[in-house]
Each structure stands twice: as C-alpha cells, then as structure tokens.
C-alpha cells in the first residue's frame, strides 16, 4: 500500500525530496513502518492520519532522512576553513566574530567539528560562533545532548577526541568549551522566512543536500544559500554538488578536496568543472563501506605504500580499499585497487572504487569508463548507477541520467523486498 504517490508528493512539498534521488523503495519502506506503528490497515487510513497529525508528519520525515555522519567528515574542508577564517579575521580587522552556519547539521557532528577545528587552529572563543540547523527536531535534540558513540569517530586520526570529549558510561560527551561555541535550532531550508532577520554568514556548510532535490528545488535552495552567504564568504558543499553550483555562478576556490565555493568574480570565465559524487540512499547501515561518498583528502605528494595481498585474500583487500578511501588516502586506495586486479578476477566493487577515485581527481572520462566496467560486471550495482547518473547529468545528458536513476531505484526496491 505504500507506493501511493500522495506520500511522494507530501515529502516533496515538505522537505523538497525528489523521489528519483533516493528511489521509491526507501519512501515505501518508511511509510510501511509508520503505518504498522499506527496499526493502519490501508493507505487511505494512514494518509488520513498523516494529514491530521503534525507529529506523524514529522515522524514520517524522520523515518526517511535517517542521518549518516561523523566528526571531521571531509577533513580537508576543515583545514581550509581554519586557514580562511584566520585570513577573514584580518580582513575585517577583528571588529566582530566570524559567523558560520551548518545546515543540515544532523546530530551535531559537523557544527562541533567546525568549532573544534577553529579552536585547535588558535582562534579564541570570542572570535567565532557556529549556528547549526536541521529540519529534524530529533536530530537537533541529539546534537544538544552532545553525547556520541564510537560510530561518530572514524578514520585514522581521532586525537581530537582526547582533547574535546570526556568519556562516560553512555558515550563520549562534548566538552563544554566546544558546546558553548555552537547554537542549535530546528529550521527548514524551504521556509522563505528562514533566518530572515539574521546577518549573512562568513562560511556556510551545506553538504549532501542539493542532490536530493529536483532542479527547480535546487535553484530555490541555492538562492537561499547564496542569500545566507556573505558576498565575500565561502560555501562548503558535498562532493556531488560542485557542478550544480558552477551552473549558478559559483566557482571553486581551488583548495583540493575542500569542496569550497565562492561567488564568480569573472562571469565570462567558464566555471571549473567539479566532478559530482552523488550521495547514496539515506537508509544505509553506518558501516565504513561506501554508504555515502567519502572524502579523498590525501595531498598529491603523499607516498604510495605498496599493498601486498595473497591471491586468496580478496575479501580482506576489498576491505582495505574501502578503509583507505574512507580515510581520504586516495593514492593508496588506487594502488590497492590495482593490486586487487593483479591478483584476483575483476570485481564490480573495485571498478566502482576506481571510478570514484577518478571522479575526485577530476578525470571524468576515466571515471565514466570505470563505472561502466562495474555495471558490465554487476548491472544493478546501485552506487555505480547513481554516480554515473550524476556524471551524465553534469555533462548535460539528463535523459541518460534519469534512466540510470530509475535502474538504481529498481535495484533498491528489489533489495528492500528481500529485507524484513
């Protein structure tokens, strides 16, 4: 009963969600879960309850937008932020505190990462303030609690946890000096009155959100984001979204792996091509495999460490590839992919990783070739389908992109039908 198009339209109206971006199966599963929770027997019965209950409307939204985040996700962006923040303070002669916005802020990992990065860079507490905002009251409440489990700490460098957290029986508690830098609230980017009376922000983080909208909603949200960002400010976005900003007069600031954009100073100059990496379906597990696009932040001069694997060690090497890529070690991850192909039969997941690594490196044609190799071996590889779709979209092939998105949605629906 959950494939009723009224539910798709409701989510589109309330949070701008484009069903093609996540697949019908995710929404159908959320509607089915909420219907069962309310013991609704038919779609009409649940729809009637949904229309009369604000709490249930929010519950359905919460069921669809399961958060997936961790501290210092895309680490190079925080390095870039610290550098830009120091320069910005000089520009404004330290006459006021820097204003930084994080939305959607989810359960708080991003705004707290911003605060920790700036404190570690030597900024004093009075020199900056961070505003976190999310459409989910439950996520905002969890952020306000500031208590996190081990899943929020990923990658090889988690030394910040010793500096900024205190471990208790229920998890790691954010330090008060970090909490004091962050103000959290519920808000919807589709609300025309959002932050209407607030001054513009020096830095805005809005990552992995635009890819869930159709083109009209993307334009609407982009206009809001542009209005929130100071004319001399910087907008940090997700890896999938650079090509979208390029079409709207923004340009990359040129900081590798930071996904940072500013206003186009010379409109006649073509905007740099930024390879899109679409975020996958929200309702994935939080395992370190590519549930969502991960940063690849290792500098180009990083030393590649050869990886030796026994011919029978295919599974371990696949795990190694994922770990290296998730930690931002793109050169080492590529070397591990080549090592796999030298010792084992071709695997779709390896070609998918090579495509992703090529995407980030700016090699669009190479990435397209790898994605197609992955799909040759595994035609319903949903992540390769979505990434290739975004690549085609950025090249102007909207029809081809939609066909691939439809295939990915069918793949997710089939997976959903085999899950309890």
296 within some domain: no
Q: What 3-state DSSP class applies to 131?
A: strand
Range of the domain at 242: 75-263
Are residue 162 and residue 259 in the same domain, yes or no? yes
Cα separation, 103 vs 105, whole angstroms: 5
297 within some domain: no
The set of residues, in sequence order, having a beta carbon less than 8 Å from that of 285 and lying 6+ positions away, is: 291
285-334 confidence digits (pLDDT tens): 334 434 334 333 333 333 444 444 444 588 889 888 888 876 667 888 89
Please check whether residue 356 is in contact with residue 373, taking contact to mean a CB–CB distance below 8 angstroms: no
41-76 confidence digits (pLDDT tens): 888 899 999 998 988 988 898 888 767 789 998 899
Cα separation, 27 vs 111, whole angstroms: 28
Q: Does residue 276 surpass a pLDDT of 70?
A: no
What local confidence, expressed as pLDDT, does residue 418 receive?
53
Output the average pLDDT for the chain: 81
Are residue 48 and residue 140 in the same domain, yes or no? no
Share of the chain above pLDDT 90, in %: 35
Can you list the alpha helix ranges (DSSP code H) found in 238-381? 242-246, 314-326, 330-343, 348-361, 364-377
215-254 confidence digits (pLDDT tens): 788 888 888 898 899 999 999 988 767 767 777 778 888 8
377 within some domain: yes
Are residue 50 and residue 93 in the same domain, yes or no? no
Are residue 211 and residue 91 in the same domain, yes or no? yes
Last residue of a domain, one of 64, 96, 113: 64
Instruction: Output helix, strand, coil percentages for the chain, rounded to the nearest 5.
Output: 50, 10, 40
Are residue 243 and residue 106 in the same domain, yes or no? yes
Angle at 259 between CA 209 and CA 212, to 5 degrees: 15
188 within some domain: yes
pLDDT band at 105 (very low <50, low <70, confident <90, very high): very high
């Amino acid at each position: 009963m959950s494939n009723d198009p009224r539910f798709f339209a409701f989510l589109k109206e309330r949070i701008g969600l484009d069903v093609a971006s996540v697949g019908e199966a995710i929404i159908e599963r959320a509607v089915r879960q909420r219907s069962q929770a309310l013991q609704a027997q038919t779609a009409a019965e649940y729809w009637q309850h949904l229309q009369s209950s604000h709490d249930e409307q929010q519950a359905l939204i919460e069921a669809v937008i399961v958060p997936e985040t961790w501290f210092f996700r895309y680490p190079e962006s925080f390095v870039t932020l610290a550098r830009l923040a120091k320069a910005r303070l000089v520009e404004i002669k330290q006459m006021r505190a820097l204003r930084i916005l994080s939305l959607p802020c989810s359960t708080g990992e991003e705004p707290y990462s911003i605060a920790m990065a700036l404190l570690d860079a030597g900024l004093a507490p009075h020199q900056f303030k961070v505003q976190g905002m999310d459409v989910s009251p439950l996520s905002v409440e969890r952020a306000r609690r500031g208590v996190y489990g081990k899943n929020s700490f990923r990658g090889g460098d988690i030394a910040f946890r010793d500096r900024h957290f205190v471990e208790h029986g229920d998890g790691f508690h954010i330090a008060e000096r970090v909490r004091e830098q962050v103000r959290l609230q519920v808000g919807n980017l589709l609300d025309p009155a959002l932050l209407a009376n607030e001054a513009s922000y020096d830095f805005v983080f809005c990552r992995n959100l635009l890819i869930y909208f159709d083109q009209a909603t993307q334009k609407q949200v982009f206009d809001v984001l542009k209005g929130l960002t100071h004319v001399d400010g910087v907008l940090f976005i997700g890896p999938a979204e650079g090509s979208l900003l390029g079409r709207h007069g923004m340009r990359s600031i040129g900081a590798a792996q930071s996904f940072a954009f500013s206003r186009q100073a010379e409109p006649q100059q073509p905007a740099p091509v930024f390879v899109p990496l679409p975020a996958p379906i929200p309702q994935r597990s939080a395992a370190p495999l590519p549930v969502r696009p991960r940063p690849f932040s290792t500098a180009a001069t990083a030393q590649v460490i050869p990886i030796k694997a026994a011919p029978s060690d295919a599974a371990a090497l696949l795990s190694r590839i994922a770990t290296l890529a998730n930690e931002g070690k793109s050169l080492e991850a590529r070397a591990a992919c080549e090592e796999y192909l030298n010792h084992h039969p071709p695997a779709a997941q390896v070609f998918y990783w090579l495509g992703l690594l090529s995407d980030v490196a700016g090699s669009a044609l190479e990435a397209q070739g790898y994605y197609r190799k992955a799909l040759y071996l595994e035609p319903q590889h949903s992540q390769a389908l979505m990434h290739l779709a975004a690549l085609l979209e950025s090249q102007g092939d909207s029809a081809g992109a939609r066909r691939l998105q439809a295939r990915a949605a069918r793949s997710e629906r089939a997976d959903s039908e085999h899950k309890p």
